[in-house]
């Protein structure tokens, strides 16, 4: 039997989370001010580190190339000048990450101060605000009974435990009726526990993971409705805390799936901390709710067996369809490449990155990791994609999250999902 299947059935596939004990306080305002002070100190330290680094950048000459890549790149140099597609200078991956977390802390501080000034809610227990750096101060650990107690001022609310390692209400193989397209009104009616933005958290226990589902989208409303119809119940039965983000590219110019997924990743982190991200094609519908959408120890390719592909893995490096990352691992690979305009190859580029940085793609057993692909018109692959792949490893440090350029057009919390529209500019000539 598959090793991961054994782990899942034994419950080991769900990460055990044991937070340190926290002491309750009789002065919530004092704790709030202390928390803000910590964030300020962290922000100032990040600024100092950035200044000390002197703004070190990696330019076009900072590539590392394998022998195989050198051969292919030389062979194709007359046809595709990759350097012309990249910014002249970009921050190093480490500097870019520090700059991002500096911005993250600044946004957190401003959000908390705005709530205090406006008197909206109670910032001391607001899980969406008080979780920078993965901290969740509203959840007070009770060491003697291995459970969480929600603290509201000085009053202790009912004790909640971590959700079980293996959710109790899973159904296994599901029956799909993809010919029936639900309306958004129907989706709202059948998911009364979903809150604005397509968000959810279990009511009776503390979720082991907070995840963001990122769905790249263009002109596929029927597909989106079908996916939400099946995905929301699966995630709820798995007792996850989550947000569904549908990201769309502004305008009708050549689509760049990878760039808008990178953009959604950064926008999501401006609003909350997430343990992991799952990048999900809009036309893939899960068939089995035992295919766990929580956080994997390594990048997990979840869409192993797709009906249109004969329910088999077509090649070893395939990571397209549905791919789960821990947040720190997505930073480690520098996100997706931003260069793949049009259809194809951005997923193969990601597979090279994962392997190159020392991570390993893991997969659930194919009898669980099953998906149905909604029928649609097949797109023609972009000719330049193979030529870009030849340079994947030598440019991953300067092509990704640290070189991403976009403008946020809108961020809207709709009933069933968060709708993000980004302007990523025009494709280069020839794409």
Mean pLDDT by 10 residues, the chain (431 residues): 43 39 49 66 55 40 37 44 68 77 74 72 42 40 37 58 95 94 96 97 96 97 98 98 98 95 96 95 98 97 97 95 98 96 91 97 97 80 75 90 96 98 89 62
Domain ranges of the chain: 18-56+92-161, 57-89+164-423
Question: Tens digits of per-residue pLDDT, 365-396?
Answer: 999 999 999 986 666 666 677 788 888 888 89
Contact call for residues 405 and 422 (beta carbons, < 8 A)? no
Question: Tens digits of per-residue pLDDT, 325-341?
Answer: 999 999 999 999 999 99
Question: Tens digits of per-residue pLDDT, 11-30?
Answer: 444 443 333 333 444 455 66
157: burial class by Cβ within 10 Å (0-12, 13-18, 19+)? exposed
pTM for the structure as a whole: 0.75
DSSP E strand stretches across 121-187: 139-142, 147-152, 155-160
Q: Residue 302: how many CB atoms within 10 A of its CB?
A: 24
Question: Tens digits of per-residue pLDDT, 181-215?
Answer: 999 999 999 999 999 999 999 999 999 999 999 99
Give the Cα separation of 324 and 331 in Å (integer): 13
Q: Give the closest residue to 207 by CA, choosing from 20, 4, 417, 14.
A: 14
Q: What homologous superfamily is domain 57-89+164-423 in, according to CATH?
A: Spore Coat Polysaccharide Biosynthesis Protein SpsA; Chain A (3.90.550.10)
Give the Cα separation of 257 and 424 in Å (integer): 11
Question: Tens digits of per-residue pLDDT, 129-141?
Answer: 444 444 343 333 3
Contact call for residues 239 and 303 (beta carbons, < 8 A)? no
């Amino acid at each position: 039997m598959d090793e991961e299947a054994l782990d899942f059935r034994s419950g080991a596939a769900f990460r055990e989370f044991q937070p340190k004990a926290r002491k309750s306080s009789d002065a919530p305002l004092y704790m709030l001010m202390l928390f803000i002070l910590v964030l300020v100190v962290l922000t100032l330290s990040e600024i100092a580190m950035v200044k000390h680094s002197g703004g070190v950048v990696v330019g076009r000459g900072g590539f590392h190339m394998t022998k195989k890549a050198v051969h292919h790149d030389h062979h194709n140099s007359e046809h595709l000048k990759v350097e012309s597609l990249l910014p002249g200078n970009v921050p190093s991956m480490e500097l870019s990450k520090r700059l991002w977390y500096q911005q993250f802390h600044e946004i957190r501080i401003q959000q908390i101060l705005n709530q205090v000034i406006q008197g909206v809610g109670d910032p001391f227990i607001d899980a969406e605000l008080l979780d920078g750096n993965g901290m969740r101060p509203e959840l007070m650990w009770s060491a003697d009974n291995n459970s969480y107690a929600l603290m509201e001022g000085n009053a202790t609310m009912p004790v909640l435990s971590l959700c079980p390692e293996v959710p109790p209400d899973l159904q296994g193989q599901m029956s799909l009726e993809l010919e029936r397209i639900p309306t958004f009104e129907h989706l709202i009616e059948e998911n009364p526990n979903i809150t604005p933005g397509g968000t959810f958290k279990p009511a009776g226990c503390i979720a082991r993971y907070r995840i963001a589902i990122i769905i790249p989208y263009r002109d596929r409303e029927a597909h989106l409705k079908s996916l939400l119809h099946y995905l929301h119940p699966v995630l709820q039965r798995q007792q996850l805390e989550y947000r569904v983000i549908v990201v769309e590219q502004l305008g009708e110019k050549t689509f760049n799936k990878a760039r808008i997924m990178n953009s959604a990743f950064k926008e999501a982190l401006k609003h909350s901390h997430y343990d992991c991200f799952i990048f999900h094609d809009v036309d893939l519908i899960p068939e089995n709710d035992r295919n766990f959408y929580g956080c994997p120890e390594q990048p997990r390719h979840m869409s192993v067996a797709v009906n249109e592909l004969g329910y088999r893995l077509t090649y070893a490096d395939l990571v397209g369809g549905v791919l789960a990352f821990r947040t720190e691992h997505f930073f480690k690979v520098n996100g997706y490449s931003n260069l793949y305009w049009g259809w194809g190859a951005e997923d193969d580029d990601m597979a090279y990155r994962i392997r190159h940085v020392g991570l390993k793609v893991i997969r659930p057993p194919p009898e669980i990791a099953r998906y149905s692909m909604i029928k649609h018109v097949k797109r023609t692959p972009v000719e330049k994609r193979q030529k870009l792949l030849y340079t994947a490893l030598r440019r991953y440090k300067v092509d990704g999250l640290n070189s991403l350029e976009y403008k946020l057009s809108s961020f809207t919390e709709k009933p069933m999902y968060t709708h993000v529209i980004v302007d990523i500019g025009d494709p280069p000539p020839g794409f």
